[in-house]
Amino acid sequence: MTDHTFDFDRYDRVRPIRWTGDALELLDQRKLPFVVEYVRCESSDDVAAAIHALTVRGAPAIGIAAAWGVVLAARGIDAADGASALTEMEPAMQRLYAARPTAVNLGWALARMRRTLTAAGEDWREVIERDADAITAEDLAANRRMGALGAALIGEGSGVMTHCNTGSLATAGFGTALGVIRAGVAQGRITKVYAGETRPWLQGARLTAWELQQDGIMPTLIADAAASHLMKSGAVQWVVVGADRICANGDVANKIGTYQLALSARHHGVRFMVAAPSSTVDMAMDCGDSIEIEMRDPDELFGVGSVRTAALEISAWNPVFDVTPHELIDAIVTERGVIERPDAAAMQAAFGD
Ligand code: MRU
């Protein structure tokens, strides 16, 4: 391993969110990998519907889309300053907030846009547009920083496993866990990447595999149920995942299946890393028990795509996130640094401000 510099453009080409100046274009993640198509959102309610439908998904991407949703909500509002505009925009912002419950980045972005509006004068429209742009740029910069910090923990020639999609598709670009993997591959630390399918919505099979392929990294797909068998074989040294909410004690909500990966990793001596920007940290939430776990339509479990595979007239339970207790996590990586063996004291020291 000699060269640790990183050619970002070579390893990061996908962009899921585009602001055109008068509309928000979202790469339709329901249609990937076979159809690459952007959906045009012209109102904040279009954005809320797109977040709910998973047209755009992934915690940081949801926050960024919501920030642009606020910019769209300003349309047709005639107000002398930001504080007056906020009063009129509040119902639209509440609808954005209600689009999905688990990822804190949605509420984080809306709270930031509220603060920006409250402080803005007569140029409030330009001010919120600049802030939505800043949220996007800061996310990309945070991911690149996390990539470097997370990759540095991984030994040369390692195999890693990841879950869901945490890449450019889930962020402003580069990705969280997938950013760590991109950086690790570029530096020769990671020689093999395993991606879990991530039933039922198949973010791993449809999105992570496609996204890595675009950037010349060839992942090996595994059934979610093969993860423990893989870890037992000694082929992976790290499981690297993202997060939708990180609590004040270090508990982490992430895509359903993450918890069982952490349990299995601990059993097999495989290390477990969570990579997420500081916008995913929720110091107001003491521990994972209080996190609202999104429940989605049981229909998602009854088939693959539009093809029914389950017996008819049955019920299904479909929580789409779970909580990994902090005791099972070896490292939480944010753009602010690495927290090894996270707990309440370490989180307070890092994020207590
Ligand atoms: O339901 P999704 O696809 O929005 O869930 C996404 C995840 O759980 C990701 O792993 C998480 O948001 C981290 S994304 C950088």
**CATH code for position 333:** 3.40.50.10470
Residue 11: pLDDT band with limits 50, 70, 90? low
Atom from ligand 1 closest to the CA of residue 62: 4
Contacts of 118 (CB under 8 A, 6+ apart): 82, 83, 86
Mean pLDDT over the full length of the chain? 95
The amino acid sitting at 316 is: A
pLDDT tens profile 253-304: 999 999 999 999 999 999 999 999 999 999 999 999 999 999 999 999 999 8
Q: Does 195 lie in the same domain as 95?
A: no
Task: Identify which of 324, 225, 220, 345 has the alpha carbon closest to the alpha carbon of residue 276.
Answer: 324
pLDDT tens readout for residues 151-182: 999 999 999 999 999 999 999 999 999 999 99
Q: Which is the closest atom of ligand 1 to the Cα of 254?
A: 8
Best residue for ligand 1 mutational test, from 102, 108, 165 (most atoms within 8 Å of Cβ): 165
149 and 132, same domain (yes or no): no
CA of 336 to the centre of ligand 1 (A): 21
Among 255, 256, 296, 323, name the best residue to mutate to test ligand 1's pocket (greatest count of ligand atoms within 8 A of Cβ).
255
Q: Whose CA is nearest to atom 8 of ligand 1?
A: 255
Looking at 142, 173, 205, the residue that finishes a domain is 142
Dist. CA 36 → ligand 1 center (Å): 20
Cα–Cα dist 253/116, whole Å: 28
Per-residue pLDDT of 291-330, as tens digits, reads 999 999 999 999 988 899 999 999 999 999 999 999 999 9
pLDDT for position 4: 52
Q: By alpha-carbon position, which residue is closest to atom 6 of ligand 1?
A: 58
Q: What's the gap in Å between 340 CA and the centre of ligand 1?
A: 22
How confident is the model at residue 2, as a pLDDT? 42
In which region does residue 326 sit, left (phi positive, over 0), alpha (psi from -120 to 50) or beta (all else)?
Answer: alpha
Share of the chain above pLDDT 90, in %: 93
More confident residue, 216 or 68: 68
Tell me, in angstroms, the distance from the centre of ligand 1 to residue 167's CA: 9
Q: Are residues 168 and 133 in the same domain?
A: no
Structural domain count, the chain: 2
**Element (DSSP H or E) covering residue 339:** strand 337-340
Q: Count how many Cα atoms sit within 13 Å of the Cα of residue 96 in the half-sphere of its side chain.
A: 32
- 201 pLDDT more than 50: yes
CA distances in angstroms from 251 to 118, 245, 331, listed in the order given:
32, 8, 12
CATH number at 97 reads 1.20.120.420
Q: Rounded distance, CA 280 to CA 153, Å? A: 21
The sign of the CA dihedral 320, 170, 114, 50 is negative
Over 80: is that where the pLDDT of 9 sits?
A: no
Query: Among residues 6, 246, 244, 3, which one has the least CA distance to residue 148?
Result: 6
If asked whether residues 121 and 199 sit together in one domain, one would say no
> Which of 146, 180, 203, 274 gets mutated to test ligand 1 (max ligand atoms within 8 A of its CB)?
203
Domain final residue, candidates 117, 142, 167: 142
| Closest CA to ligand 1's atom 5 | 58
Residue-level pLDDT at 55? 98
Our CA angle for 165, 58, 182, nearest 5°, is 45
Same-domain check for residues 138 and 285: no
Q: Are residues 168 and 229 in the same domain?
A: yes
Phi and psi torsions of 349, nearest 5°: -65, -35
Q: Is 3 among the domain residues?
A: no
Atom of ligand 1 nearest to the CA of 57: 4
Q: Which of 28, 46, 244, 322 is catalytic?
A: 244
Q: Which residues pair with 281 in a beta bridge?
A: 246
Domain range spanning residue 87? Answer: 8-142
Confidence of residue 10 (pLDDT cuts 50, 70, 90): low
**Which atom of ligand 1 is closest in space to residue 276's alpha carbon?**
15
Domain edge (last residue) among 125, 142, 159: 142
Residue nearest to atom 15 of ligand 1 (CA): 166
Give 86 or 3, the one with higher predicted confidence: 86
State the distance from the centre of ligand 1 to the C-alpha of 255, rounded, in angstroms.
Answer: 6
Atom of ligand 1 nearest to the CA of 60: 15
CA of 166 to the centre of ligand 1 (A): 6
Cβ < 6 Å from ligand 1: which residues?
57-60, 103, 164, 166, 170-171, 176, 203, 242-244, 254-255, 320
Tokens of 187: 């530096």
94 and 116 both lie in a single domain: yes
The pLDDT tens digits of the residues spanning 90-133 come to 999 999 999 999 999 999 999 999 999 999 999 999 999 999 99
CA–CA separation, 124 vs 141, rounded Å?
25
Amino acid letter, 315: S
Average pLDDT, stretch 131-137?
Answer: 97
Q: What is the mean pLDDT of residues 37-50?
A: 98
Find the mean pLDDT for residues 36-48: 97
Peptide linkage before 200 cis (omega within 30 of 0): yes
Instruction: State the distance from the centre of ligand 1 to the C-alpha of 268, rounded, in angstroms.
Output: 25
pTM: 0.95
SS3 25: strand
Question: 181-185 long-range contacts, Cβ below 8 Å, gap at least 24?
Answer: 181/212, 181/217, 181/240, 182/11, 182/12, 182/147, 182/215, 182/217, 183/6, 183/147, 183/148, 183/150, 183/151, 184/150, 184/151, 184/154, 184/158, 184/160, 185/11, 185/217
Q: Is 282 a catalytic residue?
A: no
